[in-house]
Amino acid sequence: MKKNKKKMIILGIETSCDETSAAVVRIANYGLRITDCEILSNIVFSQIAIHKKYGGIVPEVAARNHVKNIIPVIDLAFKKARVTPKDIDRIAVTYGPGLITSLMVGVEAARNLAYAWKKQIIAVDHIKGHIYAAWLASQEFPISNFQFPILVLVVSGGHTELLLMKNVKSFKKVGQTLDDAAGEAFDKVAKMLELGFPGGPAISKLAEKGNPQAFDFPRPMIHSKDFNFSFSGLKTAVLYKNKESRIKNKEYINNIAASFQQAVVDVLAHKTIKAAEKYKVKTLILGGGVAANKLLRETMRQETKRLGIPFIVPEIKLCTDNAAPIAVAGFFGKEILWKKLRVDPQLEIE
Ligand code: KG4
Ligand code: ZN
């Protein structure tokens, strides 16, 4: 077993939305299973403060800030990891899905560095980054114990997907949202309630003080036979409730936040567990920005316990966009010639 050991140091770059991030990750592998995955550095420059005043992400502003920050962020990642470009084996970069102009900044940086430093370049699907973040949650559950098939729920600002993994490199989409993503629903409801951007953290904070049964919001598609989701009707239900309510004190806002959050979590948990049963999976992974939600994490933990399967969720800072999981995904990815690398904003997982 030892002779198959492969060690790699990978530079990960992530600029698909509003976070400029670079990470250096050291990976030691035996065959197809990573046994050791160590983050040497993970720098995230978040633009939230910049976009807050616009109430959402402004693509052009995001791209301009990526341009300004990408080199200092990469530089800092090397310094913190105490490595030099000579030490790295590969550069892994997010090439989609995401905002085209944001993606271009990371991809151009990676292309230039790969050419100048004569390094392999690996184009990474952002969604796979959210999935492989679980490979960094190993203190809680060692990666060598991961049992396939694995079901993954990816919930972010742009995606809500259920994916089945037969092995470490195979992904089959078994469900997805037909309209808004879960994070998008959080962001839009927060906007209605004038809670600012991003909405998820604001809503989940207020929800802690509210009554989740105060309003009986719909649980769209909870009993549909497929594993798809829909959050746009729920968002509209909150909009109408908010329009007809005359008194909008703190208690009311807390109750709306708690009832809305409960509806989202009920649907996500119910359908995920149904899919886990149908596909007889042996492990459940939760990833993406919405995986930072306490109620969702707790509910999934309880439900998987009931089902008797291990549940893996990365620590919160690895759930939202960052480059460390992109580096891990780069370990499993195929090399692409720097000349051929293009961004793909609409990229779909194969
Ligand atoms: O994965 P991510 O950082 O970026 C995308 O790939 O979209 O996810 C961002 C999304 C936002 O919609 C944000 O509101 C949501 O994740 N989010 C949360 C929480 N923290 C972030 N949603 C619910 N509860 C949270 N605690
Ligand atoms: Zn993301």
Mean pLDDT for the chain?
A: 94
Looking at the predicted structure, is the pLDDT value of residue 223 above 80? yes
Q: What confidence tens digit (pLDDT) does each residue in 64-74 have?
A: 999 999 999 99
Domain enclosing residue 173, as ranges: 146-313
How far is Cα 174 from Cα 171, in angstroms, rounded to an integer?
A: 9
At 247, the pLDDT band (50, 70, 90 cuts) reads confident
| Domain contains 215 | yes
Q: Give me the number of domains the chain comprises.
A: 2
How far is Cα 59 from Cα 15, in angstroms, rounded to an integer?
A: 12
Looking at the predicted structure, is the pLDDT value of residue 54 above 80? yes
- Kindly give the distance from the C-alpha atom of residue 249 to the centroid of ligand 1, in angstroms, as a whole number: 26
pTM for this entry:
0.95
- Other residues' Cβ atoms within 10 Å of the Cβ of residue 194: 10
Q: Are residues 89 and 23 in the same domain?
A: yes
Q: Which atom of ligand 1 is nearest to the CA of 205?
A: 26
Q: Which atom of ligand 1 is nearest to the CA of 181?
A: 12
Q: Are residues 267 and 152 in the same domain?
A: yes
What CATH number is given to the structural domain containing 78? 3.30.420.40
Q: By percentage, how much of the chain surpasses pLDDT 90?
A: 87
Q: Are residues 251 and 285 in the same domain?
A: yes
Q: What confidence tens digit (pLDDT) does each residue in 313-331 have?
A: 999 999 999 999 999 999 9
* Mutation test residue for ligand 1: of 153, 189, 191, 290, the one with most atoms within 8 Å of CB: 290
Residue 142's pLDDT is 63
Q: Which residues contact 171 (CB under 8 A, 6 or more apart)?
A: 128, 131, 163, 164, 165, 349, 350
What residue owns the CA closest to ligand 1's atom 13? 200
Q: Are residues 178 and 228 in the same domain?
A: yes
How far is Cα 96 from Cα 291, in angstroms, rounded to an integer?
A: 20
Q: Which residues contact 112 (CB under 8 A, 6 or more apart)?
A: none
Q: What confidence tens digit (pLDDT) does each residue in 253-283 have?
A: 999 999 999 999 999 999 999 999 999 999 9
DSSP character for 229? B
How far is Cα 193 from Cα 294, in angstroms, rounded to an integer?
A: 20
Q: Are residues 60 and 171 in the same domain?
A: no
Q: Are residues 183 and 279 in the same domain?
A: yes
| Domain contains 294 | yes
- Kindly give the distance from the C-alpha atom of residue 183 to the centroid of ligand 1, in angstroms, as a whole number: 5
| Domain contains 47 | yes
- Kindly give the distance from the C-alpha atom of residue 314 to the centroid of ligand 1, in angstroms, as a whole number: 14
Q: Are residues 289 and 187 in the same domain?
A: yes
User: Which residues contact ligand 1 via a Cβ below 6 A?
Assistant: 17, 156-158, 183, 186-187, 198-201, 204, 288-290, 292-293, 320-321
Q: Are residues 151 and 121 in the same domain?
A: no
Looking at the predicted structure, is the pLDDT value of residue 345 above 80? yes
